[in-house]
Amino acid sequence: MRIGKKDLAAGVVFVALIVGFVVLLNFLMSTSDKQETQLVEDAVKNAALTCYAVEGTYPESLDYLREHYKLAYNMERFVVEYDAFASNLMPTITVRERGVKDI
Protein backbone atom coordinates (compact mmCIF):
# COMPACT_ATOMS: atom_id res chain seq x y z
CA MET A 1 0.00 0.00 0.00
CA ARG A 2 1.37 3.40 -1.01
CA ILE A 3 0.82 6.55 0.90
CA GLY A 4 -0.10 9.47 -1.32
CA LYS A 5 1.02 13.06 -0.93
CA LYS A 6 -2.46 14.05 0.26
CA ASP A 7 -2.42 11.38 2.97
CA LEU A 8 1.04 12.46 4.09
CA ALA A 9 0.03 16.12 4.18
CA ALA A 10 -3.11 15.27 6.17
CA GLY A 11 -1.00 13.29 8.64
CA VAL A 12 1.44 16.17 9.07
CA VAL A 13 -1.42 18.62 9.65
CA PHE A 14 -2.99 16.24 12.17
CA VAL A 15 0.28 15.87 14.11
CA ALA A 16 0.80 19.65 14.04
CA LEU A 17 -2.70 20.20 15.45
CA ILE A 18 -2.07 17.69 18.25
CA VAL A 19 1.27 19.32 19.13
CA GLY A 20 -0.34 22.77 19.06
CA PHE A 21 -3.14 21.59 21.33
CA VAL A 22 -0.68 20.14 23.86
CA VAL A 23 1.40 23.33 23.87
CA LEU A 24 -1.73 25.45 24.37
CA LEU A 25 -2.95 23.20 27.18
CA ASN A 26 0.41 23.45 28.98
CA PHE A 27 0.36 27.24 28.63
CA LEU A 28 -3.15 27.48 30.05
CA MET A 29 -2.29 25.23 32.99
CA SER A 30 0.83 27.28 33.74
CA THR A 31 -1.16 30.51 33.65
CA SER A 32 -3.77 29.01 35.98
CA ASP A 33 -1.08 27.93 38.46
CA LYS A 34 0.42 31.43 38.47
CA GLN A 35 -2.99 32.94 39.10
CA GLU A 36 -3.64 30.57 42.02
CA THR A 37 -0.27 31.47 43.55
CA GLN A 38 -1.13 35.16 43.19
CA LEU A 39 -4.51 34.58 44.84
CA VAL A 40 -2.83 32.99 47.87
CA GLU A 41 -0.36 35.88 48.10
CA ASP A 42 -3.20 38.40 47.88
CA ALA A 43 -5.16 36.57 50.59
CA VAL A 44 -2.19 36.66 52.98
CA LYS A 45 -1.56 40.35 52.27
CA ASN A 46 -5.23 41.22 52.74
CA ALA A 47 -5.38 39.34 56.04
CA ALA A 48 -2.22 41.13 57.26
CA LEU A 49 -3.60 44.52 56.20
CA THR A 50 -6.91 43.79 57.90
CA CYS A 51 -5.08 42.88 61.09
CA TYR A 52 -3.08 46.13 60.88
CA ALA A 53 -6.26 48.15 60.34
CA VAL A 54 -8.05 46.50 63.26
CA GLU A 55 -5.21 46.08 65.76
CA GLY A 56 -2.68 48.71 64.72
CA THR A 57 0.14 46.20 64.20
CA TYR A 58 1.02 43.58 61.64
CA PRO A 59 0.84 40.03 62.98
CA GLU A 60 4.04 38.20 63.85
CA SER A 61 3.08 34.95 62.13
CA LEU A 62 0.82 33.20 59.67
CA ASP A 63 -0.59 31.17 62.54
CA TYR A 64 -2.01 34.35 64.04
CA LEU A 65 -3.69 35.19 60.73
CA ARG A 66 -5.09 31.67 60.45
CA GLU A 67 -6.44 31.72 63.99
CA HIS A 68 -7.81 35.27 64.26
CA TYR A 69 -8.53 36.26 60.64
CA LYS A 70 -9.52 32.87 59.21
CA LEU A 71 -6.75 32.86 56.59
CA ALA A 72 -7.00 29.61 54.65
CA TYR A 73 -5.11 28.20 51.69
CA ASN A 74 -3.95 24.79 50.55
CA MET A 75 -0.92 24.27 52.79
CA GLU A 76 -0.08 20.99 51.08
CA ARG A 77 0.25 22.76 47.73
CA PHE A 78 1.69 26.17 48.64
CA VAL A 79 4.59 27.32 50.78
CA VAL A 80 4.15 30.80 52.25
CA GLU A 81 7.18 32.61 53.58
CA TYR A 82 6.05 35.33 55.98
CA ASP A 83 8.80 37.57 57.35
CA ALA A 84 7.51 40.08 59.87
CA PHE A 85 10.42 42.46 60.45
CA ALA A 86 8.59 44.96 62.64
CA SER A 87 5.02 45.36 63.83
CA ASN A 88 4.60 48.64 61.95
CA LEU A 89 6.08 47.49 58.60
CA MET A 90 4.31 45.32 56.05
CA PRO A 91 5.78 41.81 56.26
CA THR A 92 7.59 40.33 53.31
CA ILE A 93 5.33 37.67 51.83
CA THR A 94 6.49 35.10 49.31
CA VAL A 95 4.28 32.32 47.97
CA ARG A 96 5.46 29.41 45.85
CA GLU A 97 4.04 26.11 44.86
CA ARG A 98 5.60 23.09 46.57
CA GLY A 99 7.98 21.21 44.30
CA VAL A 100 8.34 24.14 41.89
CA LYS A 101 11.76 25.76 41.86
CA ASP A 102 12.20 29.46 41.21
CA ILE A 103 14.14 30.23 38.07
pLDDT of residue 74: 92
Tell me the domain boundaries of the chain: 5-97
One pLDDT digit (tens) per residue for the chain, 103 residues: 677 777 777 777 767 767 676 766 676 666 667 888 999 999 999 999 999 999 999 999 999 999 999 999 999 999 999 999 899 999 999 999 887 665 4
Instruction: List, as one string, the DSSP characters of the chain.
Output: -PPPHHHHHHHHHHHHHHHHHHHHHHHHHHHHHHHHHHHHHHHHHHHHHHHHHHHSS--S-HHHHHHHH-----TTTEEEEEE---TTSPPEEEEEETTPPP-
Tell me how far apart the alpha carbons of residues 96 and 76 are, in angstroms, rounded to a whole number.
Answer: 11
Q: What are phi and psi of 86, to 5 degrees?
A: -150, 155
57 CB-near residues (< 8 Å, 6+ apart): 51, 87, 88
Q: Is the pTM of this model over 0.85?
A: no
